[in-house]
Amino acid sequence: MDKKQPLIFDIARGSFEDGPGVRTTIFFKGCPLTCPWCHNPESQSYNTETMFFPEDCIGCKNCENDKPCFSLARRTVGQSYSPDQLINILLEDKPFYDDSKGGVTFSGGEAFSFPHYLSQVLPVLKDYKIHVAFQTCGYFNFSDVCLLLPYIDLIYFDLKIMDSDTHKKWIGKPNTLILDNFSKLFSTDVRILPRIALIPGFVATRENLDLLARFYLLHDIKNCEFLFYHPGGNEKRKRLNKSLCKKLPEKPLSESENMAWIEYFKGRIL
């Protein structure tokens, strides 16, 4: 699905977590998947949303009359930027990219939902020799994304639940397209770094990690990144008036628990 004009819900400047060096990370709004553990649930809808911060409410009742919230207790999530506007913002940070061997990371949501928009941004970044990375859930039209690959240096590719029916049950879509896209990308010249989010009871189970290990071995993958579960998205869900998944734990796994899952997985691919 090619959404022509994306909404952006955050531009994180000076990031050290989304690729090499100092980076500016663009968070697009909209994702074809509905992971119940998503740390940024405001990224799932392609439309603007309102987040409510009751601690900031002063009872002005402007909201009852469709007036702007005086205290910003109600905040609109999602803003439109033209390609030129976004490019100008990204180029402001170029000295930091150059000094740190950093660059720009496109995230979401699912940034690959907007290939037409990206086709107007990425060539300019490449002209300025800016390193470009993407974070993807893998659910996209490969023929569209293939045209963007000459401008991309690194793709972080999340793999989650390997059983397709279970994937559809919890995330809203089967995983057939995701696995097919991974295989196709892996055969290109772009660097692909798989990532596994260790979500207890969903991704971090022996059965699922065994299936993931078989898929890794099929592609001769020896390296990946692990992401750790954090319940921080639950507070955002409440602010968006969205329901919480009762199967998710209220607390993160301990460091020792996370390491145990990592060692279990590594023992099956090394």
What's the token pair of residue 214? 């078989």
203 vs 24, 154, 206, 216, CA distance in Å?
29, 24, 9, 15
Q: Per-residue pLDDT tens for 84-133?
A: 999 999 999 999 999 999 999 999 999 999 999 999 999 999 999 999 99
- How many other CB atoms are there within 10 angstroms of residue 235's CB atom? 11
pLDDT at 132: 98
- Name the pTM for this structure: 0.93
Residues of the chain with pLDDT under 50: none
pLDDT at 208: 97
Say which DSSP state 200 is in.
B
b/e map of 147-177 (b: 16 or more CB within 10 Å)? ebeebbbbbbbbbbbbeeebbeebbeebbee
pLDDT at 2: 57
Domain ranges of the chain: 7-269
pLDDT at 223: 87
Please confirm whether the linkage preceding 109 is cis (ω < 30° from 0): yes
- Per DSSP, the three-state class of 159 is strand
Residues 7-269: name the CATH superfamily.
Aldolase class I (3.20.20.70)
pLDDT at 63: 85
